[in-house]
Amino acid sequence: MSVGLLLVQTLNGLELGVLLFLIAAGLTLVFGVMDVVNLAHGVQYMLGAYLAVAFAAATGSFWLAVPLAAAASLLLGAVLERLVFRRLVGADHLDQVLATFGLILLAEEGVKLVWGPAPRSLAIPDLLAGTVPLFGGLRYAVYRLAVLGAGLLVAGLLALLIERTRAGMRLRAGASNAAMLSALGVDVGRLFALVLAAGAMLAGFAGAVAAPIVSVDPGMGGPVLILAFVVIVLGGAGSVRGSFLAALLVGLTDTLGRSLLDAALAGALPPAAARTAGPALASMLIYLLMAAVLAFRPGGLLPARGRA
Amino acid sequence: MLEVQDLDAGYGRAQVLFGVSLSISAGETLALLGRNGMGKTTTVRALMGLLRPWRGAVSFAGTRLAGLPPHRIAQAGLGLVPEGRQVFPTLTVAENLAATARPGPWTRARVLALLPRLAERLSHRGLQLSGGEQQMVAIGRALMTNPRLLILDEATEGLAPLMRAEIFRALAALRAEGQAVLIIDKQVAELRRLADRIAVLEKGRVIWHGRSAEADGVERLLHL
């Protein structure tokens, strides 16, 4: 594989990584602080994409559609917290899985009723259309670079919020010991509601900015949710910093692994065998990564509870 | 200021506390003594709302506390230094002090004056501290919430003698300033010097209470 292609795949991996981070950030806090397993978090990503498509159609502007989709996701997260998630705090994990799986079914069917089962798409805005040259005659889409930049910007703002503000301190404190935090006078339920709504907004924002480069369909949240769970386990549940590291690792491993494995297997195996073994092995890579990391660090890369 | 009347509490179906009654006036230090498993920590957990009392009344400066969630109880003016210290491990000492601080006479500067050892550790994370330092963080963290009553569960358990002495010195300074304190510890001699009154728990019941000066028989009650 050429250096240029490696660069392209690295950028693709980082882009997948930052999108995964935006989704995993809320998920890891909800799981880390309140011990709530939220399978419906992928739905927020999917709805964010649909909302962006709908707002773009209504306003005619991508630049209005993305913030509107993020705001609507925040609102939806707040409503779901009041209606559903508040009741799941302290409940059995099985109850949480059942309730949030129910939300997935509702949301996916609801989307099919409103927008139909066929995939939708969102046009890349003119300002971010086209490609930029990399070396070696390769070109890279401006929009993908913009997604990477926007993701890193949001990650940076989130890091600032979590590392430098009192609300951030409380989040980190709650992720390690929520009962102690409440015994010191912090309303952990309200903190949870904020985290849930903010997490929904981040996932919705990820869906909105991903909409122009993925197929917007009712099932798009599922695969992303699974990757996001790999990210939070790998990073250490409750640790946003760990999630950032893990998201980039998962994005790079998945993207680079696929192309490198193809190249490596093509050299070592007969073409027919390489064509079947390549994708099969590639889809296992992130799980192998997870198993390897957990074997040495059972609490994940940067556990929120300190030494795990 | 704190009035506990006929408190029953337990875990699952196992009753631990049987009609515990206690009171603490403003500026007073009460020591709660008892062997392991006699209900001291359960009393603290029930006071703080971390465990829902089965029966009985807890009132604090006119507010009924029994049945309220922990954060409301803490906001009413109870500051907890829990058993096992429970410092936030990934937060720095400065963050541990600041995260739950509420406005009042206790500021970081005053806490550091009381516990000078912490001043050198402000940027260390909770998990990097020794047990004694963690206990100082836990005390400072509770003081920063500006509690009217400071509750210490196992104030010096497992600490080196030097650390133990430093903590008792800090507690004596608090008492001199008029801070009300409920303290649980195993150092009976130290507690008799520090506390105004002593209550002894045995099998979930208060079997003795009185002034520290009159507590000559306490060691025998504790089977020491």
pLDDT tens for A151-188 read 999 999 998 999 999 999 999 999 889 999 999 999 99
The one-letter amino acid at B3: E
Domain membership flag for residue A235: no
Q: What are the tens digits of pLDDT across the range B51-102? A: 999 999 999 998 999 889 999 999 999 999 999 999 999 999 999 999 999 9
> Which residues constitute the domain of residue A32?
7-217
Higher-pLDDT residue of A34, B207: B207
The band of B159, judged by pLDDT with boundaries at 50, 70 and 90, is very high
Q: What are the tens digits of pLDDT across the range A220-249? A: 999 999 999 999 999 998 888 899 999 999
Domain membership flag for residue A208: yes
B86 at interface of A, judged by CB pairs closer than 8 A: yes
Cβ atoms within 10 Å, residue A20: 28
Q: CA-CA distances (angstroms) from residue B185 to A113, B79, B155, B197? A: 65, 17, 6, 14
Residue A166 CB partners (closer than 8 Å, separation 6+): B98, B99
Average pLDDT of the residues in A47-61: 96
Q: What are the tens digits of pLDDT across the range A183-197? A: 999 999 999 999 999
Contacts of B70 in chain A (CB under 8 A): 179, 182-183
A144 at interface of B, judged by CB pairs closer than 8 A: no
Contact A160, A27 (CB under 8 A): no
The band of B220, judged by pLDDT with boundaries at 50, 70 and 90, is confident
B82 at interface of A, judged by CB pairs closer than 8 A: yes
Nearest to B50 among A166, A183, A185 (CB): A183
Nearest to A169 among B73, B74, B99 (CB): B99
Domain membership flag for residue A93: yes
Task: State how many domains chain A has.
Answer: 1
Q: Which residue on chain A is closest to B82 by alpha carbon?
A: A180
Helices (H), chain A: 3-34, 41-59, 62-80, 86-88, 93-115, 142-164, 166-183, 188-210, 221-235, 240-268, 271-296
Find the angle CA(B132)-CA(B135)-CA(B138) to the nearest 5 degrees.
155
Nearest to A306 among B69, B73, B89 (CB): B89
Contact B112, B118 (CB under 8 A): yes
B122 at interface of A, judged by CB pairs closer than 8 A: no
Domain membership flag for residue A223: no
Please report the pLDDT score of residue A4 as a whole number. 80
Contact B43, B32 (CB under 8 A): yes
Cβ atoms within 10 Å, residue B16: 21
Contacts of B75 in chain A (CB under 8 A): 185
Domain membership flag for residue A264: no
Contact B215, B195 (CB under 8 A): no
Distance from CA of A256 to the nearest CA of B (A): 33
User: Among A44-48, B73-77, B130-134, B220-224, which is the least confidently predicted range?
Assistant: B220-224
Residue B124 has pLDDT above 60, yes or no: yes
CB pairs below 8 Å between A and B: how many?
Answer: 79
| CA neighbor of A245 nearest in space, from A4, A17, A3, A15 | A17
Please report the pLDDT score of residue A1 as a whole number. 62
Please report the pLDDT score of residue A277 as a whole number. 80
Contact A33, A169 (CB under 8 A): no
Domain membership flag for residue A252: no
Distance from CA of A182 to the nearest CA of B (A): 5
Backbone angles phi, psi at B138, to 5 degrees: -65, -40
Please report the pLDDT score of residue A306 as a whole number. 61
The band of A308, judged by pLDDT with boundaries at 50, 70 and 90, is very low
Domain membership flag for residue A144: yes
Domain membership flag for residue A308: no
The band of B224, judged by pLDDT with boundaries at 50, 70 and 90, is low
Average pLDDT of the residues in B117-135: 94
Radius of gyration of chain B (CA): 17
Backbone angles phi, psi at B201, to 5 degrees: -100, 135
Q: What are the tens digits of pLDDT across the range A74-127? A: 999 999 999 999 999 889 999 999 999 999 999 999 999 999 999 999 999 999
The band of B37, judged by pLDDT with boundaries at 50, 70 and 90, is confident
Residue A21 CB partners (closer than 8 Å, separation 6+): A151, A155, A231, A243, A244, A247, A248
Q: What are the tens digits of pLDDT across the range A137-154? A: 888 999 999 999 999 999
Say what the ipTM of the complex is.
0.93
Average pLDDT of the residues in A48-54: 97
Please report the pLDDT score of residue B219 as a whole number. 77
Contacts of A235 in chain B (CB under 8 A): none
- Collapsing DSSP states into helix, strand and coil, what is residue A239? coil
Residue A307 has pLDDT above 60, yes or no: no
